[in-house]
Amino acid sequence: MRPNMTALDTWLAKATRQLSADSAAQVRAEIAQHYESSREDALASGVAGDEADRAAIAALGDPKSANGQYREILLTRSEARLLRSSACEAKFFSATRLRKRLLFLIPAAAATCAAAAYGIATLTAPFVIPFTASASANATANLIARIAIVAAILTAVVFAVPLLPIYTPTRARIYRAAKWLTVIALSMILWDRAHFFEWSWLVLNCFSFVVWTEAKRMSLRRKIPAANWPKHLYL
Amino acid sequence: MNFKGALPTLILESLAQGPSHGYAIAQSIKSRSKGILDFKEGTLYPALHKLETSGRVESYEGSENNRPRRYYRITKSGRGVLAKDRAEWRAISQAVTVILGEA
């Protein structure tokens, strides 16, 4: 490496901040090619070596501004990480036909659990005396029934994905709309006004992660051409 | 003038003349505008990537003076967008000329 490449390296380090390894390599390659051409043109027009380097760097502009624009269009480190981890999850869930089918045992078990808990709550309701241990047990059975039915529906929606023909952006949009409507409807089932503030920290923590992941996925869908989307990005 | 917003259209116009690499596109815009549109060249590539993601240009590996270079060419969809942008620009330009002419 020539000593006068340092200015370019500094520019590139700033311009590729937070970009994924592949994106950074792409930026480095194209900017290095650009810089070389710019420098050669300056040298050919009679400018001295150092001055040609400075002119080539100056022509590139502010690296921070370029970095902001690159981050809007190329994959960042966190997005690349999410893409990799989602690919691993998708691979696990749809590895074999048997596994795809076996996964439905989870919503089935949750639904059975919900039915059993609801049955217990219904059967014991006539015998419940307020402010007694039986009232507390009845409320617990009701809560377990609600949580189990939410888990059953949610896991069924998620595990049905490998079996659904979702391979166009339109179908993906329909699935996502259905998924979020289900999540909202299920949140209503779990909604407990009496203890809302008591559990709000847990709800906020869970939802902040979901919102963060969804925001990253939206960004990925914008950055990757639809033709190159992996299956899990449709969801 | 909001030159940043016009950069993608200028890139498409430059590529409508034939496939080219980033540096040549930048020089083409500068020379054809007689140096008036002097933009920072580091902003050219994000605009090119955006056009590529939206399918308006496509890229391929080529070489110039035995050095590898990434070339870009306009797609059919890109030509359609360019025609639309050109018509819009003419309308805006005429409207602004009329207003400024009246002042």
Q: How confident is the model at residue B2 (pLDDT cuts 50, 70, 90)?
A: very low
Residue B38 has pLDDT above 80, yes or no: no
Taking CB atoms and an 8 Å cutoff, what residues of chain A touch B22?
30, 33-34
Interatomic CA distance for residues A101 and A149, integer angstroms? 20
Give whole-number Cα distances, A188 to A176, A182, A209, B30, in Å.
Answer: 18, 10, 19, 59
Q: Do the Cβ atoms of A233 and A217 come closer than 8 Å? A: yes
Q: Check if A10 contacts B (Cβ < 8 Å).
A: no
pLDDT in tens, A67-83: 999 999 999 999 999 88
Give the pLDDT confidence score for residue A127 in this predicted structure: 65
Q: How confident is the model at residue A3 (pLDDT cuts 50, 70, 90)?
A: very low
A231 backbone dihedrals φ, ψ, rounded to 5°? -55, -40
Q: Do the Cβ atoms of A44 and B58 come closer than 8 Å? A: no
CB contact under 8 A, B42 and A60: yes
User: Computed from CA positions of residues A133, A135, A138, A139, in that sequence, does the dihedral angle turn out positive or negative?
Assistant: negative
Which of B68, B69, B71, B92 has its CA nearest to residue B9? B92
The answer to which of A7-16, A78-87, A160-169, B74-83 has the lowest mean pLDDT is A160-169
3-state helix, strand, coil in chain A (%, to 5): 85, 0, 15
Residue A103 has pLDDT above 90, yes or no: no
Q: Do the Cβ atoms of B32 and A52 come closer than 8 Å? A: no
Q: Check if A107 contacts B (Cβ < 8 Å).
A: no
Of the two residues A181 and B1, the one the predictor is more confident about is A181
Taking CB atoms and an 8 Å cutoff, what residues of chain B touch A65?
40, 42-43
Highest mean pLDDT (candidates A27-36, A88-97, A156-165, B62-71): A27-36
Of the two residues A58 and A230, the one the predictor is more confident about is A58
Taking CB atoms and an 8 Å cutoff, what residues of chain A touch B50?
72-73
Element holding B52 (H helix, E strand)? helix B44-53
Burial class (CB in 10 A: 0-12, 13-18, 19+), A162: middle
Residue A1 has pLDDT above 60, yes or no: no
Which of A82, A89, A70 has its CA nearest to residue A221? A82
Q: What is the interface size between A and B, counted as CB pairs within 8 Å?
A: 67
CB contact under 8 A, A69 and B43: yes
Nearest CB to A15; choose among B27, B42, B70:
B42
pLDDT in tens, A116-149: 888 887 777 666 665 566 667 777 777 788 888 8
Q: Extract long-range pairs of B88-93: CB within 8 Å, 24+ residues apart.
A: B89/B6, B89/B9
Q: Do the Cβ atoms of A23 and A77 come closer than 8 Å? A: no
pTM of the predicted model as reported, rounded to 2 decimal places: 0.73
Q: Do the Cβ atoms of B31 and B14 come closer than 8 Å? A: no
pLDDT in tens, A11-57: 999 999 999 999 999 999 999 999 988 888 888 888 887 888 888 99
Element holding B64 (H helix, E strand)? strand B57-64
